[in-house]
A and B are shown apart, each in its own frame.
Chain A
Amino acid sequence: MFALLSYVYYATAYQVSQDADAAIEREYKLLAGAYGSGGMRELNEQVVERSAAPGPLFYVLADQSGKVIAGDFDALPRMPTSGQTSEWVNFQATVDAATGGGSETHATRAYFGRLLNGPILFVARDQRDSRSAASRMTKALTYAAGISVAFSILAGLVAAWLASRRVELLSETTRQVMAGDLTRRARVEGWGDEFDLLAKNLNDMLARLEMLVHATRNAGDAIAHDLRTPLSRLRQRLEVALNAPPDADTDREALLYAQDETDRLLKMFNTVLQLARLRSPESWRLLRMDLTPIVEEMADLFEPAAEEAGLVLTKGRAPALMVQGDAQLISQALANLLDNAMKYTPKGGRVHVSCGQRSDGRIEIRVSDSGPGIPVEDRERVKERFVRLEVHRTSPGAGLGLALVAAVAEMHRGAFLLEDGLATGHGFGLAAVVVIPAIDAREGRRLI
């Protein structure tokens, strides 16, 4: 603060004295010009006239020997240095006091020199003006600085108090969450500042955590339930075979059954493991790729199977659609959707697979069928692991297909939506839609 004020003082003083010097020099040159055009008489008149006029400048005209001819002072403060035509000098001038009687000494700065043929011209300026201008400004600044420092301290105290209060609120929320209440949420004040952002992020994190904990709990229950049934069935079958009298044919049948059943269980385990892996980002390998051929190839792979199942599988045409993705996982998700559509669409029905750009710029893969569809209230639920609608408990599958699709969509920062499909007289069908952000075809940047 002191350094700043000193700077302001010196800068102001310097500027004022620069201006004063320029004014002095200008006057000197004007008068020298008058001497040049009108000679000694003209110069004398000008000096007399200027000395009489009020103002901060003083003038003295002296002859060759230094004797004063006209002007404000009775004597020259000093003679010009020989050889110099003009020079600057600082000296103390004694002047009449502004108030009362007596006299005062003022710092004075002058420019003087010898004109052609010897007369000495002297223009001076009382420096008190420039010094006082600087000190006035410095004083004003000192007050302003004092006020602003006081105000800053006050504002700082208020801000610190507010900040610590909001931090306290946030930490209160985290304490409650740590105590086991996952439903707690931090308060967002709506000021749009960093604390709101922090609170919002904290809330998003908690929401996701709550969902995961919920999903894990559900999946744990579901795994236990879904594994217990086939495992006890398997055990029972083996027990029956062991208790029966040895017979090559029935033993072989039991072994074949056991093999099929364990294959199914292993497949289920593999899918559960794959789902777990999809949630760990270090295993992701997302590359720039065109979605269109992936969709077309998968449609070609399924087309004969659909025909054999008495269904018509059609595919839409699309230009290149660039995304950042894992081709194998997207293919697998699409295969699950096609498998699902074929499983639930009655004979004679239609399945249509297409990809394209949505109105929001994102890319979608859509598998629509003319089957019975899924009631709107059940649509969210079927995307979870192991959830199978009660009506389908008897058909094959472990309820993991759509969960995998949802996980693949999520790892691509996309979404998995269930909408109305191909409407028929019997229902609206189902459209399973995987939405993935588009990337710029040239730069490979994610656009959304």
Chain B
Amino acid sequence: MKVLVVEDDLDLARTLKRALEEDGHVVDVANDGVTGETMASDSGYDVLVMDRMLPHKEGQEVVRDLREAGVATPVLILSALDGVEHRVQGLNAGSNDYLGKPFSTDELLARVRALWHGRDRNGPVTRLQVGDLEMDLLARTVHRAGDKIELQPREFRLLEYLMRHAGQVVTRTMLLEKVWDYHFDPQTNVIDVHISRLRAKIDRDYGAPLLHTVRGSGYRLEA
């Protein structure tokens, strides 16, 4: 997909460009807010990666003006200001995700992909399917190979998020933020244990495992 990176730190911009290109994307770079806004409103980008503190125009203002101009491209804000209040401001301005600096490249790549796939292209979804794992979002039921699987509400939401992002790497931080709504690092490996409990329910008694651990970055649900 086509990604625009708006970042004034030239070293970081180059690193981001290379990492995204290695991940299979086409990447353009703008180094200030005004250029970024012009480029973002002209060409058809799939995802914008926007720094917050930019020369000429603040990243958040760029997003607000783009949204007012009717540009709906998903935006990931990067910022050294990662307090909850800054996140809320960023999301209120119309961005879709917020990543505090410093971040790992895996985290960024996972979020860029999630933004692209997370868009509602075919209206609201009521059923999700990965291999022989099926989820009915209306009846709140899960079946694997025809067997009903009992899940706690939190496990259901965890699996739902993984199924919505099937095939993509989902990081621990993403799960903490999107499933639990915690924007901090709880130190202990709490997420790993929740994943292994979920794995015991959906994978253990069946042939091919669906829930994979991606070393160093997170998890991927894939048939």
A and B, one complex? yes
Q: Mark A146-167, 1 if CB is under 8 A from B, else 0.
A: 0000000000000000000000
Cβ contacts under 8 Å, B184 to chain A: 328, 331-332, 335
Quick one: which of B147-199 are within 8 Å of A by CB?
A: 154, 180, 182-190, 192-194, 196-197
Cβ contacts under 8 Å, A214 to chain B: none
Do B197 and A285 have beta carbons less than 8 Å apart?
A: no
- Please choose the segment from A66-74, A296-304, A368-376 that sits at the chain B interface, where 4 or more of its residues have CB less than 8 A away: A296-304
Instruction: Closest A residue to B80 by CB, please name it.
Output: A273
Determine the distance from Cα of A305 to Cα of B196 in the docked complex, in whole angstroms. 10
Do B182 and A328 have beta carbons less than 8 Å apart?
A: yes
Cβ contacts under 8 Å, B137 to chain A: none
- Please choose the segment from A41-49, A229-237, A336-344, A413-421 that sits at the chain B interface, where 4 or more of its residues have CB less than 8 A away: A336-344
Instruction: Closest A residue to B185 by CB, please name it.
Output: A267
Do A305 and B189 have beta carbons less than 8 Å apart?
A: yes
Do A266 and B102 have beta carbons less than 8 Å apart?
A: yes
Cβ contacts under 8 Å, A308 to chain B: 193
Cβ contacts under 8 Å, A37 to chain B: none
Task: Take A267-B185, A342-B188 as given contacts and tell me if A304 and B154 are in contact as well, using a CB distance cutoff of 8 Å.
Answer: no
Instruction: Point out the residue from B83, B190, B197 that lies within 8 Å of A283, measured CB to CB.
Output: B83
Q: Mark A388-427, 1 if CB is under 8 A from B, else 0.
A: 0000000001000100000000000000000000000000
Task: Take A297-B180, A300-B154 as given contacts and tell me if A339 and B186 are in contact as well, using a CB distance cutoff of 8 Å.
Answer: yes
Most buried by A among B84, B85, B184, B189: B184
Do B186 and A301 have beta carbons less than 8 Å apart?
A: yes
Do A338 and B84 have beta carbons less than 8 Å apart?
A: no
Most buried by A among B83, B88, B154, B183: B83
Quick one: which of B84-116 are within 8 Å of A by CB?
A: 84-85, 88, 102, 104
Do A304 and B83 have beta carbons less than 8 Å apart?
A: no
B190 to chain A, nearest CB (A): 5
Q: Mark A279-323, 1 if CB is under 8 A from B, else 0.
A: 000010100000000000100111011011000000000000000
Determine the distance from Cα of A326 to Cα of B82 in the docked complex, in whole angstroms. 15
Instruction: Point out the residue from B180, B187, B189 that lies within 8 Å of A401, measured CB to CB.
Output: B187
Do A339 and B188 have beta carbons less than 8 Å apart?
A: yes
Do B180 and A301 have beta carbons less than 8 Å apart?
A: yes
B164 to chain A, nearest CB (A): 21
Cβ contacts under 8 Å, B102 to chain A: 266
Determine the distance from Cα of A266 to Cα of B102 in the docked complex, in whole angstroms. 8
Task: Take A297-B180, A335-B187 as given contacts and tell me if A277 and B154 are in contact as well, using a CB distance cutoff of 8 Å.
Answer: no
Do B188 and A328 have beta carbons less than 8 Å apart?
A: no
Do A305 and B85 have beta carbons less than 8 Å apart?
A: no
Cβ contacts under 8 Å, A274 to chain B: 83
Task: Take A266-B102, A277-B83, A328-B84 as given contacts and tell me if A304 and B194 are in contact as well, using a CB distance cutoff of 8 Å.
Answer: yes
Q: How many A-B residue pairs have CB under 8 A?
A: 57
Quick one: which of B51-101 are within 8 Å of A by CB?
A: 82-85, 88
Instruction: Closest A residue to B153 by CB, please name it.
Output: A300
Determine the distance from Cα of A285 to Cα of B84 in the docked complex, in whole angstroms. 9
Cβ contacts under 8 Å, A339 to chain B: 186-188
Most buried by A among B104, B154, B193: B193
A303 to chain B, nearest CB (A): 9
Determine the distance from Cα of A401 to Cα of B188 in the docked complex, in whole angstroms. 12
Instruction: Point out the residue from B186, B192, B197 that lies within 8 Å of A335, measured CB to CB.
Output: B186
Cβ contacts under 8 Å, B154 to chain A: 300
B199 to chain A, nearest CB (A): 12
Do A304 and B197 have beta carbons less than 8 Å apart?
A: yes
Cβ contacts under 8 Å, B193 to chain A: 304-305, 307-308
B86 to chain A, nearest CB (A): 9
Most buried by A among B185, B187, B196: B187
Instruction: Closest B residue to A328 by CB, please name it.
Output: B84
Cβ contacts under 8 Å, B185 to chain A: 267
Cβ contacts under 8 Å, A297 to chain B: 180
Cβ contacts under 8 Å, A263 to chain B: 104
Determine the distance from Cα of A397 to Cα of B185 in the docked complex, in whole angstroms. 13
Most buried by B among A300, A301, A338, A342: A301
Cβ contacts under 8 Å, A285 to chain B: 84-85, 88
Determine the distance from Cα of A266 to Cα of B80 in the docked complex, in whole angstroms. 12
Do A328 and B183 have beta carbons less than 8 Å apart?
A: yes
Determine the distance from Cα of A300 to Cα of B197 in the docked complex, in whole angstroms. 13
Instruction: Closest B residue to A302 by CB, please name it.
Output: B190
Chain A positions near chain B (C-beta within 8 angstroms):
263, 266-267, 270, 274, 277, 283, 285, 297, 300-302, 304-305, 307-308, 326, 328-329, 331-332, 335-336, 338-339, 342, 397, 401
Other 11 A-B pairs with CB < 8 A, given A304-B197, A331-B184, A335-B184? A267-B185, A270-B82, A283-B83, A285-B85, A300-B154, A301-B180, A301-B190, A302-B190, A307-B193, A332-B186, A401-B187
Give 22 A-B contacts (CB < 8 Å), ordered by A residue: A263-B104, A274-B83, A277-B83, A297-B180, A300-B154, A301-B182, A301-B186, A301-B194, A304-B190, A304-B193, A304-B196, A305-B189, A305-B190, A307-B193, A326-B84, A328-B184, A331-B182, A335-B182, A335-B184, A335-B186, A336-B187, A339-B187
Q: Which 3 A-B pairs have the closest CB atoms?
A: A304-B193, A335-B186, A339-B187
